Amino acid sequence: MNPALRALKNTIRKDLRQKLAALTPEEIRRQSLIVTEKLLEMPVFKESQNVSVYISMHGEISTPDIIRTLLEQNKSCYVPRCKGSNMDMVKIESWEDFMSLPKNSWNIPEPAHDESRENALDTLHGLDLIVMPGLAFDHTGTRLGHGRGYYDNYLIKINAHNKSIGRPPVTTVALALTEQIVDTPLPRCETDINPQKILYP
């Protein structure tokens, strides 16, 4: 990525983080209920059996209700586990399992690295759906992440895995607060992968 593009992205990230930090938990909860209902009504959500979901932090659509729904519907639920520049999706077994996850350095619940868990990249079913976060989205569908490239890199890996086992590419749905939708087109580079659908209130 060229330095000018990186600088522009980082300026937008700084502005968005300030805006999102000012949102009250009540407002995030209000918007999260609307977006969660939209997601749960999507045919792709209803039809998917193997789903990965990000675990939310402040300034994002809250995901515990989505995780609880997946587990109650006996779907396989995978959540991110990051180490260095690498992210994998590992399975959580129950609501109790989810509630007992330790916090990482971002203060987000994350499965411990010394725990043996089912990895979506090692299964014969891969993933049907990835519910992903982002920092900002524009009206063309471009996503701006936090800058580490976790989801862009993971989508390449999981789609290669799905192809190797004769499965279709994974469907991607991003969730956003109204404040994360920007009118000005976002900068992007050739390695950025847009979600197929963005849900916001």
Q: Collapsing DSSP states into helix, strand and coil, what is residue 181?
A: strand
- What is the tens place of the pLDDT at every residue in 128-184? 999 999 999 999 999 998 878 899 999 999 999 999 999 999 999 999 999 999 998
DSSP state for residue 76 in the 8-state scheme: E
Phi, psi of 138 (to 5 degrees): -110, 180
Average pLDDT score over residue span 9-19: 90
- pLDDT at residue number 146: 85
pTM for this prediction: 0.94
What span, in angstroms and rounded, lies between the C-alpha atoms of 56 and 3? 30
Pair type for strands 76-83 and 136-138: unpaired
pLDDT bin (cut points 50, 70, 90) of residue 192 is confident
Q: Among the listed ranges 61-70, 132-141, 181-190, which one has the minimum average pLDDT value?
A: 181-190
The average confidence (pLDDT) of the chain is 94
Please state, in angstroms and rounded to a whole number, the distance separating the CA atoms of residues 104 and 118. 19
Question: What confidence tens digit (pLDDT) does each residue in 18-38 have?
Answer: 999 999 999 999 999 999 999
Asked if pLDDT for residue 64 goes beyond 70, the answer is yes
Q: Do β-strands 50-53 and 181-182 pair in parallel, antiparallel, or remain unpaired?
A: unpaired
Q: By residue range, what is the domain housing residue 91? A: 3-199
| Cβ proximity of 117 and 49 under 8 Å | no
Q: Average pLDDT in the 111-127 region?
A: 95
Quickly state the pLDDT bin for 3 (edges 50, 70, 90): confident
- How many domains does the chain fold into? 1
| DSSP code string of 140-179 | T--EE-SSS-HHHHHHHHHHHHHHHTT-PPPEEEEE--GG
- Joined together, the tokens standing for residue 152 give 């862009």
Which residues partner with 103 through β-bridges?
Answer: 109
Instruction: Check pLDDT > 70 for residue 197.
Output: yes
Q: What is the mean pLDDT of residues 100-121?
A: 93
Q: Kindly give the residue spans of alpha helices, DSSP state H, lying in 48-125.
A: 64-72, 95-99
CATH number, residue 27: 3.40.50.10420
What single letter denotes the amino acid at residue 28?
Answer: I
Task: Please say if the pLDDT value at position 196 is more than 80.
Answer: yes
Q: What is the pLDDT of residue 133?
A: 96
